[in-house]
Amino acid sequence: MRWLALLVAAIAWGQTVARQGDVIRVRTPGPAAEARMDGRTVRLFVQPEGGRLGLMPVPAEKAPGRYNLELLASDGKVLSSQTVIVRDARFRSQNVVLGQATAELKPSPGEMETVDKFLAAVTETRHWREPLGLPVAGCMTSPFGVKRLANGRPTGHYHGGLDQRAPVGKPVRAVADGVVRLVRSYNIHGGTVGIDHGQGLESMYLHLSRFAVAEGAVVHKGDVIGYSGSTGRSNAPHLHWSLYANGVPVNPLQWVRVKPCAARR
Ligand SMILES: [Zn+2]
């Protein structure tokens, strides 16, 4: 956990160093209610062990540079501030080959809206704790953050999650405790499960062939929530999963370890 050592060292000097796609765990012993950085405000929640904790995402596309992280009182008054240095994560580009029918898929009615609504909800109870688990055992076929080209053309999007190799029908497991908020079959996302882990952390699992839970189910880390597949905009069976901190996709590799697959020839 080299980044953690770096982060702790940096905080000791009154500075935080983060990379694009990271989550800054904002911890404070004081009464601050929110943290703000570059116009984004996140809530700080009282923790059972004392103090407060909030998750400040550094979006994958945030320009590298120096930013101010402020702690705010409940009336919005700035209590303290420190410097955050955002480093370039050097995400690569990756071409994805899609058949014409797949490339032309349109979202199901309400697909984007229900996903956005799920991602916008921040709930009070913290269910998650570290370390998170891996949803499947397979190696990583595509990391978070790569700039995506579809059939050689830039899409303007980056990969908002992590892909793992998984044949159709492998059990997919919750990465942490939480409440299942989304169990839907969508045109683009395919078979989708979304879990709210509480206090701003959420996970999504896409392209599933089958579901093992219903919306509203309380799950624990490692519980089977569905089965891998290749539904939606997918060119081969795999599991795409993503982590969100206060609605922003963040790099799962800051939270879990997974081996990259050996390059195919
Ligand atoms: Zn993916």
pLDDT per residue as tens digits for the range 132-184 = 999 999 999 999 999 988 888 888 889 999 999 999 999 999 999 999 999 99
User: 117 alpha carbon to ligand 1 midpoint, in Å?
Assistant: 20
User: 240 alpha carbon to ligand 1 midpoint, in Å?
Assistant: 4
The letter for the amino acid at 77 is: K
User: 241 alpha carbon to ligand 1 midpoint, in Å?
Assistant: 7
Of 126, 218, 219, the residue nearest 172 (C-alpha): 219
Average predicted confidence (pLDDT) for the chain: 93
Of 260, 50, 1, 245, the residue nearest 138 (C-alpha): 260
Q: How high is the pLDDT of residue 12?
A: 46
Q: Does 10 score more than 50 pLDDT?
A: no
Report how far apart, in Å, the C-alpha atoms of 52 and of each of 10, 46, 108, 222 are.
Answer: 20, 4, 39, 27
Place of tokens 């929530």: 225
Q: What's the residue count for the chain?
A: 265
Q: What is the C-alpha R_g of the chain? A: 19
User: 201 alpha carbon to ligand 1 midpoint, in Å?
Assistant: 19
> CA–CA separation, 136 vs 139, rounded Å?
9
Total Cβ atoms within 10 A of residue 256: 16
DSSP state at residue 51: S
Asked if 86 and 58 count as a contact pair (C-beta separation under 8 A), the reply is: yes
Asked if 72 and 34 count as a contact pair (C-beta separation under 8 A), the reply is: yes
User: 19 alpha carbon to ligand 1 midpoint, in Å?
Assistant: 20
Strands 52-57 and 23-28: antiparallel
The two structure tokens encoding residue 55: 């998750």
Q: Does 8 score more than 70 pLDDT?
A: no
Asked if 166 and 206 count as a contact pair (C-beta separation under 8 A), the reply is: no
Q: What is the pLDDT of residues 60-83, one digit of tens each?
A: 999 999 999 999 999 999 999 999
State residue 10 phi and psi, 5-degree precision: -65, -40
